[in-house]
Structure 1
Amino acid sequence: MTIPNDPPQSGSAPVSLELVEQMTLLEKASLMSGANFWNTKPIARLGVPSIMLTDGPHGLRKQGGAADHLGLNASIPATSFPTASHLANSWDVRLLERVGAALGAEAAAEQVSVLLGPGLNIKRNPLGGRNFEYYSEDPLLSGKLAAAFIRGIQSHGVAASVKHFAVNSQETHRMSIDEIVDERALHEIYLEGFRIAITEGRAWTVMSSYNRVNGTYANENEPLMLDVLRRRWGFDGLVVTDWGGNNDRVAGLRAGNALEMPSTDGVTDLEIVRAVEDGSLDEKILDERVREVLTLIERTRQKTSDVVDHDDAHELAIEAARQAIVLLSNPHGQLPFTEGSGRIAVIGDFAETARYQGAGSSLVNPTQVDDPLTALRATDLEIVGFAPGYTRRDSPSRLRRRRAVALASKADTVLLFVGLDESAEAEAVDRKHLALARNQLELAEELFALGKPVVVVVVGGAPVELPFADRAAAIVHAYLAGQGGGRAVADILTGAVNPSGKLAETYPIAYADVPSSADFGRTEATSEHRESIYVGYRYYDKVGAAVRYPFGHGLSYTSFEYTALTADTSHARLTVTNTGERAGAEIVQIYVEAPSAAVGVARAARELRGFAKVHLDPGASAQVTIDLAEHAFDAYDVETGAWRGVPGRYRVLAGASSRDIRLDAPVDSEGTPWSARADALPHYVSGHVADVDSAEFAALLGRELPSPNWPRGGTLTRSDIIAQTAGRGGFASVLHGLITTTSALLMRVGRPHASNNVKFVLDMPFRSIPRLTGGKFDEAMLDGFLLMVNGRFWRGAANLTRAALRRNRTVT
């Protein structure tokens, strides 16, 4: 089989037409779904091989035994690199490319053809349960980092899979939720990062998301998949469903989805065959999808296969962690610790038992793990002892607290580790609140009451409320730093490495300050993005809201001065000088501030339009030139359906964060004035989007809002989710109670991953059961099961039993 390594873009000359023409209709259809959980189907007579896809946003998760997509079963040992939420704080595209290349090398060595990552959905709300897998609240930063990561992975002949396309903004009801978002926010916020990642990274695959987007499942959304992804952006690769993410197989095929995963035991293949035979699907569309599968096979067949040095990979994991740890506060120079820092008490369970990754499909089996306590004890610091101080999942821990306070009383300085435990951040569940565990807060209060300096290290993939922030001697956010994070944290605390990470997301003071806090994750059928373009710093800076730490914030053990800024519509140039006594790195951020009259309906106060990381020795200066984003002076025009220049005099700003602006320069941009609808959209003009009501949001959308609630009563169908069995009585309520009780019991006995994975079942559509079981629970069995939950228990049970017996006879 010969397919060009760099095939033409979709819509141009066909690839490997002769091979496609040799296939039977059933063979073509067979390539449209998996052979099992992780592999595609081969066609032996034509020499078409099977290829493997597997999880890997921050580490290879290749399973050698029982397969799943939620981290239930063990995978082979692999390097657990820092998560995307951590790497993003480095703002370092070269580092991301190096980590991507290391992941690509490990995947190639294991003959994995597709690595399912990176994830780059926008962090709309800090409670998003999967935010640890995503880069930022800003699309430019997300897109640039993801593009570099993709280039690194694909340098080894392994395809990166950009996910989850698109608007996968929450985990609650993720397989059925309808994300309602206006067109301008869709393109400026939720699609722009994908555009940059795909066009600059040249990704070979894209994974469609489970959710609906404005009423249509993403996998079937032709405006997204065909008009935007392929025609506008020129994507010439393959679209794969998220696992179990197919709704209507033929509709997905028409919209550009080639591969459905995992195996459906041939059920949906036959749906494709029937659609071609009855004329409802043009076979030319199927042929195009087949060519996309063949192109992917050819692109990934030349994988490098060198033996991976896991020790070298571990050192890279440490370096990546070092470059992204964020020093949030250090008001009195308590850090770095030195030999003269006196006696230090290390307190907090996270110091000894490192939390270094999230949970779910990204759960990696690490080759080794460095914990902070061991790394600190290997330094010259005087560590007087360690006390865990609290239990991991917020159960009462008075004895541990007393012992920790007693230890702290013997020390000169307290080093306190706090953070989010394993149950808090995982695929398929959103966080319930922004607070730290009660037992951690109680411990912190007692330690601060001692009157000694308390240095706090925060662990977790997202912001938390920090009510003690003003009393802390210093605060370091370690995020989820991967298997080498323990050594990296010790290096930052001791000054062996000068911190240079900066926040890729805003740190609110309290959850109520978040504009989407009122209804995020609390609705049933829809999730309304009433805040529109005002996500993260675009909101806080527009309305002047107080924040704990602004977007782009991060401190160093040295200082930097910015001078001589000049700018035009393409570049910004300035000089950066290290005015301190230590070598360090500064992340220079370029924002663009629009004229007040530009797009009167809505405009953020300022938007990130470029960045660069500059390494400088003490006293050294560097002249830095930063490219401005493609749409630096544009906004998305809903009327014309395209990006459009907005005229006026702009301010180009150079800053150390979105609120630490050091320099500005005027730049005139051309364009055609826009007409404004400000009278109908007052809160979008002012930015006070937390006050937007249904009428104003409907006016922004230009249509009536769909109901946010599930229909009450009636018959549950295949498209409904299992959570809708609640309160229906009979077997339906028994089923719902069994799932929720099992989840609660697993959490109580200390198995948070299993608990969350059981809870995941509630958000599954009934149609996904046959698909995620590889057809072992087939369509006929599902029909019987639906009768049972719809109040016809005995008839449904009989039908299910007969269907199961028929299937067993067929299999045997």
Structure 2
Amino acid sequence: MIGTRIEGLVDAMTLEEQVSLLSGRDFWSLPAIERLGIGSLRVTDGPNGARGGGSLIGGVRSAAFPVGIALGATWDPDLVSEIGAALADEAKAKGAHVLLAPTVNLHRTQTNGRNFECYSEDPVLSAELAVGYIEGLQGQGIAATVKHFVGNESEIQRTTISSEIHERTLRELYLVPFEAAVKRAGAWAVMTSYNRLGGTYTSEHPWLLTEVLRGDWGFDGVVMSDWFGSHSTAPTMLAGLDLEMPGPARDRGHRLVAAVEAGEVAAKVVRERALNVLRLMARTGALDDHRPREERAEDRPEHRALIRRAGAEGMVLLASDGTLPLREPASVAVIGPNAKVAQIMGGGSAQLNAHYRVSPWDGLAAALGKERLTHAHGCDNAKFQPVLPGPLRMEIFANRALSGEPVAVEEMPEAQGFWFGTLNGGASASDFSARITGRFTAPRSGTWTVGLRAAGLARVRIDGREVAEAWESWTRGTTFFEEGNDEVLGEAVLEADRTYEIEILFATRPSESLGFSALAVGLGLPSGDAEIDEAVEAARRAEVAVVCVGRDASWDTEGADLPGIALPGRQAELIEAVAAANPRTVVVLQTGGPVEMPWLPRVAAVLQAWYPGQEAGNAIADVLLGRAEPGGRLPQTFPARMEDGATFSQDREVYPGLDGRVRYEEGVFIGYRHHDRVGTPPLFPFGHGLSYTTFAMADLAVAEDGGEVRVAVTATNTGARAGSEVVQIYVTPAPAPVPRPARELKGFAKVRLSPGESRRVEIALPARAFARFDAERREWVMEAGTYGIEVGRSAADLPLSGEWMARTARRWAP
């Protein structure tokens, strides 16, 4: 029925109308074709919420769900499917038909700024969670957009760098989640990455988009570019890119019409691309949706409960001497830079304006009462200075010279903005200037630090004196998706309770790759020894110290990789000092990936909480107090040192890249595969996570059944309270002519058991679980021979082992 209707519609269109569907009308939507009764397709950013059509800053409020790595740590596709269904509700509330999610790139390095947004270092775990997410989302009529296809495992020079990846590595690792999303979950859309693959932009890569995606996998949905990630007319059309985003058209529109008329692009190719877009519109109901976009802030109780439950399910108890769970402590010192600040999400296009934010302090205060708690900040951990609070007055000029009368005047809640499209008063976000003024009353005396970041030109004055400048000296850095300068720092001596006049001048400049302008001005008073001393004293007086440390969205963010995996600032020093004062010190980590832990032997427990969404503090309190189990298992290996990672190399082309190339020299040996290969034990292995109860696994059975290998094991809760365990199955290879990992995750199941309860867990492994990819022959190969089956609770804790014999070799096409 859909096919007949859209075939009729596409053939009733003029060439210009077909072309109009192949690029955005604006940042978030496609044009309607009123003559044929065709509505407008609308999209919104994900994956940990649905922001809507507003800016990355502010806008209509939305529910903030746990980030990708936190969902990866749940090892629970059913839970992730629930979240997908809830996100469909969120997308509908924002008037959207398409959610730009999930992100399924792998954790190649420990320092990728966007690891927080991705599920795992392992392709099988990522694939299973992606399938759950997509089925939940698309089951409610909202399209998933699987991203970023492919080779976007770093944020360094991501819009231009070429990822050099061998086809075997692609097929066995990086393509696996995308393949499952298409073949098993039936994803309706795929987004290309910014980077090049083997020298060719993925948005114009025929092998990737046509041969693999549509040919090998049978994809029939829409392939869209990442925002501003399309760079040509004919090459993208011929390669298989359906949709250039955002709009208005840059390389499509009249240029595409001219390319057809010149014979560079056949009319049938335009028809095929338009047909794909119409199919997506039919699947999502956009074909007949003529309503104006309405965005609602729906704070649903059921979503609150789901976010809180999912947050606890993803938290990983890394280490504990029995201090956790806390049993009605009389006094708790809540310490650290993340104690009273709710770190709920990473940075970049995944960020949104949450309905609310619950900090660890808030969660513990609600659970125990404030009278049992004391607080100490301890030290700072932010990458940038705290954003200057408003209200501020912004005068907008429709030129870059701050000349004439302002075309609009508006209030800013704080000194940061992110602008695209058309501003109030009709000024273009790519060609305007602004004068921003306000007042600041210093709460304390001291030498304050002024921080200035801009995707544009800017300067800051306090009482008429210039204190920071990025105008004449502006140089491109890593902020604002590599469109802004690195933060410029200045100083201002301020007196307590005195009010100062603030003036910020801003003007746009030509963008490097992405079409927007942005500004952030911060003002902070750095902490020092006195704050650490205060934390030590608070810990000494308390029964237990909970130290809330980690990173924030300025570190874990799209657009920039991390400089390393040490805790920023003086946080390690803070932990050491607090632990020396109180042996019952519990460290709550909030990061988007691993950190070095030289202080580990001196603390009582470590809980990795990730960025668990708007209910962060409540979920953290639930786990600390034993009201919920720490249900998570590591989706990424935690090395003891950054130098132990797979991509740490003296060859900069391996990482972070050199001369426009990043070479995936390690091949299939990332994460736990790398540690097994080189024999370096990790700090915490892939799959690791402790529980508040104990489990046993026994009675392993391996049997062949109809072309599958069935692995069965009995899991038993041997402890005194209910809990969950993840049964993990790894396959060791038969002899092969190429190096293969010592073991690879090929199946898993999360089981919840009452005290004393046992359950038989059975997992079927297809032939693909035993195969490698032969790039020369372009086919999958399963050698004849004996394969090992290892079962346990992490890549380094596999107490059960068996084997399966493949009596004959097999080969098959991708």
Contact 1:129-1:425 within 8 A present in 2 as well: yes
Q: Secondary structure at the match of 2:686?
A: coil
Aligned partners of 1:307, 1:354: CA distance in 2, in Å? 20
Partner of 2:437: none
Contact 2:540-2:582 within 8 A present in 1 as well: no
**442, 455, 473: which one pairs with 2:573?**
442
Partner of 1:540: 675
User: Do residues 315 (structure 1) and 305 (structure 2) align?
Assistant: yes
User: Do residues 421 (structure 1) and 552 (structure 2) align?
Assistant: yes
Aligned partners of 1:376, 1:218: CA distance in 2, in Å? 47
Partner of 1:17: 7
Post-superposition, which runs of at least 4 consecutive aligned residues in structure 1 deviate over 4 A?
302-309
User: Do residues 361 (structure 1) and 349 (structure 2) align?
Assistant: yes
User: Do residues 483 (structure 1) and 473 (structure 2) align?
Assistant: no
**415, 430, 433: which one pairs with 2:564?**
433
User: Do residues 604 (structure 1) and 741 (structure 2) align?
Assistant: yes
Partner of 2:186: 202
Partner of 1:580: 719
| Aligned-residue offset at 1:139 | 0.5
Aligned partners of 2:83, 2:221: CA distance in 1, in Å? 23
TM-score for both structures, normalised by structure 2: 0.78
Amino acid at match of 1:534: F
Q: Secondary structure at the match of 2:332?
A: strand
Aligned partners of 2:208, 2:263: CA distance in 1, in Å? 25
| Aligned-residue offset at 1:307 | 10
Partner of 1:623: 760
Partner of 1:493: 624
**86, 91, 99: which one pairs with 1:102?**
86
User: Do residues 145 (structure 1) and 129 (structure 2) align?
Assistant: yes
Q: Secondary structure at the match of 1:194?
A: helix
| Aligned-residue offset at 1:196 | 1.1
- Give CA deviations for 1:224-258 in whole Å, capped at 9, x if unaligned: 11111111111110001000000122211111111
Q: Secondary structure at the match of 1:90?
A: coil
User: Do residues 659 (structure 1) and 806 (structure 2) align?
Assistant: no
| Aligned-residue offset at 1:43 | 1.4
Aligned 1:241-320 pairs, distance under 5 A? 241-265=225-249, 268-301=252-285, 310-320=300-310
Structure showing the higher helix proportion among its residues: 1
Contact 1:206-1:238 within 8 A present in 2 as well: yes
User: Do residues 30 (structure 1) and 20 (structure 2) align?
Assistant: yes
Partner of 1:516: 647
User: Do residues 233 (structure 1) and 217 (structure 2) align?
Assistant: yes
| Aligned-residue offset at 1:21 | 2.0
TM-score for both structures, normalised by structure 1: 0.78
Contact 2:50-2:94 within 8 A present in 1 as well: no
Contact 2:162-2:197 within 8 A present in 1 as well: yes
| Aligned-residue offset at 1:113 | 0.8
Aligned partners of 1:236, 1:38: CA distance in 2, in Å? 22
CA-based RMSD? 1.9
Aligned 1:314-393 pairs, distance under 5 A? 314-330=304-320, 332-339=321-328, 341-380=329-368, 383-393=372-382
User: Relative to structure 2, which stretch is displaced further, 362-371 or 187-196?
Assistant: 362-371
Aligned partners of 1:422, 1:296: CA distance in 2, in Å? 33
Contact 2:168-2:775 within 8 A present in 1 as well: yes
Aligned partners of 1:633, 1:614: CA distance in 2, in Å? 25
| Aligned-residue offset at 1:342 | 4.5
Q: Secondary structure at the match of 1:75?
A: coil
Q: Secondary structure at the match of 2:259?
A: helix
- Give CA deviations for 1:706-763 in whole Å, capped at 9, x if unaligned: xxxxxxxxxxxxxxxxxxxxxxxxxxxxxxxxxxxxxxxxxxxxxxxxxxxxxxxxxx
Partner of 2:809: 672
Partner of 2:419: none
| Aligned-residue offset at 1:396 | 4.3
Contact 1:396-1:439 within 8 A present in 2 as well: no
Partner of 1:771: none
Partner of 1:187: 171
Cα distance change of structure 1 residues 384 and 289 upon mapping to structure 2, 3 Å threshold: closer
- Give CA deviations for 1:389-440 in whole Å, capped at 9, x if unaligned: 1123275422211211111121232211110133211111111111102321
Aligned partners of 1:422, 1:83: CA distance in 2, in Å? 11
Aligned partners of 2:297, 2:564: CA distance in 1, in Å? 44
Paired-residue identity, %:
39
Aligned pairs, number = 654
Contact 1:61-1:365 within 8 A present in 2 as well: yes
Partner of 1:122: 106
User: Do residues 590 (structure 1) and 729 (structure 2) align?
Assistant: yes
- Give CA deviations for 1:344-386 in whole Å, capped at 9, x if unaligned: 2111121211101011111111112222112212334883411
User: Relative to structure 2, which stretch is displaced further, 127-136 or 440-449?
Assistant: 440-449
Partner of 1:744: none
Partner of 1:215: 199
Partner of 1:549: 684
- Give CA deviations for 1:525-582 in whole Å, capped at 9, x if unaligned: 0001000000101111222211110000000011111111112343211110000101
Q: Secondary structure at the match of 1:467?
A: coil
Partner of 2:411: none
Amino acid at match of 2:357: V
Cα distance change of structure 1 residues 276 and 265 upon mapping to structure 2, 3 Å threshold: closer
Partner of 2:660: 525
Q: Secondary structure at the match of 1:16?
A: helix
Aligned partners of 2:535, 2:145: CA distance in 1, in Å? 46
User: Do residues 468 (structure 1) and 457 (structure 2) align?
Assistant: no
| Aligned-residue offset at 1:453 | 2.2
Partner of 2:455: none
User: Do residues 80 (structure 1) and 97 (structure 2) align?
Assistant: no
Contact 1:416-1:456 within 8 A present in 2 as well: yes
Aligned partners of 1:393, 1:485: CA distance in 2, in Å? 18
| Aligned-residue offset at 1:452 | 2.3
- Give CA deviations for 1:241-299 in whole Å, capped at 9, x if unaligned: 00000012221111111110111446521221122111121111111000001111111
Contact 1:434-1:463 within 8 A present in 2 as well: yes
Structure showing the higher strand proportion among its residues: 2
Which blocks of at least 5 consecutive residues in structure 1 are unaligned? Answer: 8-13, 675-812
Aligned partners of 2:13, 2:70: CA distance in 1, in Å? 46
Aligned partners of 1:251, 1:469: CA distance in 2, in Å? 53
Partner of 2:516: none
Amino acid at match of 1:243: W
Aligned partners of 1:187, 1:217: CA distance in 2, in Å? 19
Aligned partners of 1:63, 1:486: CA distance in 2, in Å? 28
Aligned partners of 1:670, 1:281: CA distance in 2, in Å? 51
Partner of 1:398: 529
Aligned partners of 1:314, 1:521: CA distance in 2, in Å? 39
Q: Secondary structure at the match of 2:318?
A: strand
User: Do residues 62 (structure 1) and 56 (structure 2) align?
Assistant: no
Q: Secondary structure at the match of 1:586?
A: strand
Contact 1:113-1:159 within 8 A present in 2 as well: yes
Contact 2:112-2:561 within 8 A present in 1 as well: yes
User: Do residues 559 (structure 1) and 547 (structure 2) align?
Assistant: no
Contact 2:162-2:199 within 8 A present in 1 as well: yes
Partner of 2:448: none
Aligned partners of 1:195, 1:589: CA distance in 2, in Å? 22
| Aligned-residue offset at 1:47 | 1.4
Aligned partners of 2:700, 2:219: CA distance in 1, in Å? 37
Contact 1:15-1:291 within 8 A present in 2 as well: no
Contact 2:657-2:663 within 8 A present in 1 as well: no
